[in-house]
């Protein structure tokens, strides 16, 4: 999954359907979700913020950008980290990262 956004933009939000290894939507009822993003090749986290669950039964989440999230041009990798009601933690996608490309804007 690749997501493209221009530098300093805050829209559109990044939306995803979180799925398990069998490609079934994960039930997010009573779960909390965080969005993490770092520049490709870096270990420094640029974004570590709460994400929003928009459809818990169908595993749909989104992250609404702030201007500081998109102020740096470049390639980034991201994930959604879910803490389930029982305390278990799982990151999605669990076999790769979400590719985020922040491109230059003209003005």
pLDDT over 90 at 107, yes or no: no
Query: Alpha carbon 65 to chain centroid distance?
Result: 10
Q: What is the pLDDT of residue 37?
A: 98
Q: What is the pLDDT of residues 39-54, one digit of tens each?
A: 999 999 999 999 999 9
In order of start, what are the domains of the chain with their CATH numbers? 2-103 (2.60.40.3350)
The residue-averaged pLDDT of 44-72 equals 98
The residue-averaged pLDDT of 23-43 equals 97
The radius of gyration of the chain from alpha carbons, rounded to an integer in Å, stands at 14
Q: What global pTM score does this model have?
A: 0.94
Percent of the chain beyond pLDDT 70?
99
Which tokens hold the place of 10?
């805050």
């Amino acid at each position: 999954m690749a997501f493209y956004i221009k530098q300093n933009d805050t829209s559109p939000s990044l939306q995803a359907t979180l799925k398990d290894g069998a490609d079934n939507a994960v039930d997010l009822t009573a779960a909390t979700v965080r969005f993490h993003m770092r520049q490709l090749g870096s270990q420094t986290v640029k974004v570590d913020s709460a994400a929003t669950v928009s459809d818990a039964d169908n595993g749909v989440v989104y992250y609404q950008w702030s201007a500081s999230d998109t102020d740096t041009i470049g390639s980034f990798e991201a994930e959604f980290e879910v803490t389930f009601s029982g305390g278990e933690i799982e990151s999605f996608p669990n076999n790769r990262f979400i590719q985020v490309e922040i491109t230059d804007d003209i003005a």
